[in-house]
Structure 1
Amino acid sequence: MNKVPLEITILGLSITSSWGNGHATTFRGIVKELHRAGHRVTFLERDVPWYASNRDLVNPDFCKVILYQDLNELKNEYEDLVRSADMVIVGSYVPEGVPVGTWVCDEAEGVTAFYDIDTPVTLAKLQRNDYEYLSPELIPMYDLYLSFTGGPTLKLLEEQYGSPCARALYCSVEPALYYPERVEITDDLGYLGTYSDDRQPPLERLLFDAAKGWSEGKFVVAGPQYPDSIVWPANVRHIHHLPPAEHRKFYNSQRYTLNITRADMIRAGYSPSVRLFEAAACGVPIISDYWDGLESVFELGKEILISASGEETLAYLKDIDDVERQAIGERARQKILKKHTAAHRAQELIDYLYEVKGTLMNR
């Protein structure tokens, strides 16, 4: 990573609370690595009640966190932080994201970036004229569009929406937090994820149907916001919320883990989720639905298993011996350590910053 210390200001959904969102763990990993490399990061987070009552990282030692109440306070109190930074990043789903982003682009003297942790969802919202945190007019104002989705979406962002520079910045994992450990295997297959309408049908198809077809099997689902109307099979446990500190043990206590992808991300392709990287870093073999570009992350059949039905899921659970099961998990772990850690993402971020700076200087 570049040796010159940089000042980086991030306005993100949350870094203090992982409750019901995947943003906090993503920001924590990257910011830790930026700090380790000598860069100074300030994280500005809107103080909202649902995160205030569920904070699991109040005072991180790797960045300065500022909680602000509203847009007026942000503009009046923290203008200097935005103006003086070498880079200012605004994340997706930041409250009042359009006026926040417009203000940042107007005031910042360094590189400005939009970090879209929800790219396919964002693009679907734009097509519906839903400008909750980003608008078509704002995209060209950012110097850099950092996207959780790669592949053809990057070309779309540049050619259709006018981004000067769209680059993939996938989610990642911290190897110090996610690794294999000896714990009791309590479940044959587990799934970790917040409830969503579009993920529920594949969850029922890939996990519920498998559970119904194997009464001796043990299954677990962890995540909040599942409706009371869901009928859980008798051999499927539900854990209402699992804080990040317990994720590693959760993965390691499974023979296999299940990955399910949001519908918008399947349509876009090239959108690996953080759960993929976390489970793989633990050496737990993954059974996943398929989307375009998955083979650019893992080798299908060797590093990850693909299922489209409960029957296919059951075949993996019952027919693969322990030696091959563990080998699949280890091959995926090695791939993650080689390409998809938070340190890799932090370096990519700094590389993009200098790429954009070079472009701006040559205009």
Structure 2
Amino acid sequence: MRLAFYGSSLVSAYWNGAATYYRGLLRALAERGYQITFYEPDVYDRQKHRDIDPPSWCRVVVYDGTVEALKRVAQEAAKAEIVVKASGVGFEDELLLAEVMAAADSAALKIFWDVDAPATLAELKAAPDHSLRRALSSLDLVLTYGGGDPVVDAYRVLGARECVPIYNAVDPETHHPVPPDPRFAADLAFLGNRLPDREERVETFFLEPAQKLWQRRFLLGGSGWHDKSLSPNVAYIGHVPTADHNAFNTTPNAVLNISRASMAENGFSPATRVFEAAGAGACLITDYWEGIELFLKPGEEVLVARDGRDVAELMQKLTAAGAREIGERALRRVLAEHTYAHRAEEVDRVLRRAHRMEAAE
């Protein structure tokens, strides 16, 4: 089936946390026979910071960040049997949704794919006349980055016909164990861009433990932290290209996942970092969120912290051998149950069912 996907970016992970998700899932769908075209706007300097070339398994169309260019690429939706508009594209999202769905063939599956469902739902609840809220009943399907039953129930209340969470996973060809790299040597490392709904949690789960454990080495990666006050034992290395993510995860004794506030509050929303770290065989410490046990077993395959004090205590108890065992168990678990091949099988099943239902109406 021909799939037109309008998203933030496939070729650049720069200020684009959904890149890993898009790449892993769409590649796995392409391997199942889907013919995919990915449309992305040239905004936020993403094209200047490409970290992959356009892949052989997907046609990538980059369009100027103008309304005229947006309307032109939206017309190409008419050629597809499945049309997807993702959240957080970053340029005229509401207009893009309207133009793409208006151009889509009447027989095509029309899908909104939400890569930050808790935040989107909060926006919709605060704006009763939001264009996405008005459009939900005309769409065939809402797919989400995660969120579990709370997100499914909320979307149905707002008028969605069907909502299905498609969780993050690991692409073993992209994220896997590699030899340690001295650039990333640390007792605890955290990788994440500086965002308003994450910064306070980074202070609690990462910077405060660093102040208490002044004799330990901490490593901070990601964009936007250059003017943040850091204790002397925290090394800031800026943006970490995706080509270095495996070494970043493998080298430290442990790596930390800190969810954005909305995802932590909702639960059932494992970040890409969770699976990137597990896929590299890293020992992962994650902030607590409901549903973690559906993906990794706390205490055996992942360490869970409810606050900065927990992080500090876990680090004081964690040995190199213990960290290695946790990472090895996590790697076995994700390879057995949580690869993008597993997710693509689920998406394929959902799309084919929705297509049959559409044809029957």
TM-score (norm 1): 0.91
- Matched position secondary structure for 1:167: strand
Matched, 1:87 2:82: yes
Question: Within 5 Å, which residues of 2 pair with 1:151-300?
Answer: 151-158=149-156, 160-184=157-181, 186-226=185-225, 228=227, 230-300=228-298
**Counterparts in 2 of 1:76 and 1:188: CA distance versus 1, 3 Å:** closer
Q: Which of 13, 20, 26 is residue 15 of structure 2 equivalent to?
A: 20
Q: Cα offset for 1:36? A: 2.5
- Matched position secondary structure for 2:220: strand
Q: Which moved more, 1:170-179 or 1:47-56?
A: 47-56
The structure where helix makes up a greater share of residues is: 2
Q: Cα offset for 1:7? A: 1.0
Q: Cα offset for 1:130? A: 9.2
Match of 1:343 in 2: 341
Q: Any gaps of 5 or more consecutive residues in structure 1?
A: 1-5
Contact 2:179 2:247 in 1 (8 A): no
Contact 2:141 2:163 in 1 (8 A): yes
1:273-296 deviation line (CA, Å, top 9, x unaligned):
000110011111111111111222
Matched, 1:73 2:69: yes
- Matched position secondary structure for 1:66: strand
Q: Cα offset for 1:39? A: 2.1
Question: Within 5 Å, which residues of 2 pair with 1:87-166?
Answer: 87-94=82-89, 95-109=91-105, 110-129=108-127, 135-148=132-145, 149-158=147-156, 160-166=157-163
Match of 2:6 in 1: 11
Match of 1:32 in 2: 27
- Matched position secondary structure for 1:187: coil
Q: Which moved more, 1:165-174 or 1:232-241?
A: 165-174
Report the aligned-residue RMSD. 2.0
Q: Which moved more, 1:121-130 or 1:271-280?
A: 121-130
- Matched position secondary structure for 1:237: strand
Match of 1:328 in 2: 326
Q: Any gaps of 5 or more consecutive residues in structure 2?
A: none
**Counterparts in 2 of 1:212 and 1:78: CA distance versus 1, 3 Å:** closer
The CA distance in 2 between the partners of 1:153 and 1:92, in whole Å, is 15
The CA distance in 2 between the partners of 1:139 and 1:330, in whole Å, is 43
- Matched position secondary structure for 1:254: coil
1:212-269 deviation line (CA, Å, top 9, x unaligned):
22222111010001261x2111111111101111111111111111111111112211
Q: Which moved more, 1:108-117 or 1:46-55?
A: 46-55
Contact 1:303 1:331 in 2 (8 A): yes
The CA distance in 1 between the partners of 2:300 and 2:210, in whole Å, is 24
The CA distance in 2 between the partners of 1:78 and 1:168, in whole Å, is 25
Q: Which of 56, 59, 63 is residue 58 of structure 2 equivalent to?
A: 63
Matching residue's letter, 1:31: L
Contact 2:205 2:308 in 1 (8 A): yes
- Matched position secondary structure for 1:206: helix
**Counterparts in 2 of 1:13 and 1:284: CA distance versus 1, 3 Å:** same
Q: Cα offset for 1:49? A: 5.2
1:152-192 deviation line (CA, Å, top 9, x unaligned):
2112211x111111001122221112112221561110001
Q: Cα offset for 1:322? A: 3.2
The CA distance in 2 between the partners of 1:338 and 1:49, in whole Å, is 37
1:59-98 deviation line (CA, Å, top 9, x unaligned):
322211112233433444552x312312111111122222
Matching residue's letter, 2:307: S
Contact 1:154 1:167 in 2 (8 A): yes
The CA distance in 1 between the partners of 2:101 and 2:69, in whole Å, is 17
**Counterparts in 2 of 1:100 and 1:310: CA distance versus 1, 3 Å:** closer
**Counterparts in 2 of 1:221 and 1:296: CA distance versus 1, 3 Å:** same
Identity of aligned residues (%): 30
Matched, 1:52 2:47: yes
Contact 1:187 1:255 in 2 (8 A): yes
Q: Cα offset for 1:201? A: 2.4
Q: Which moved more, 1:120-129 or 1:242-251?
A: 120-129
The CA distance in 2 between the partners of 1:219 and 1:156, in whole Å, is 39
- Matched position secondary structure for 2:38: strand
**Counterparts in 2 of 1:254 and 1:11: CA distance versus 1, 3 Å:** same
Q: Cα offset for 1:198? A: 2.9
The CA distance in 2 between the partners of 1:174 and 1:10, in whole Å, is 20
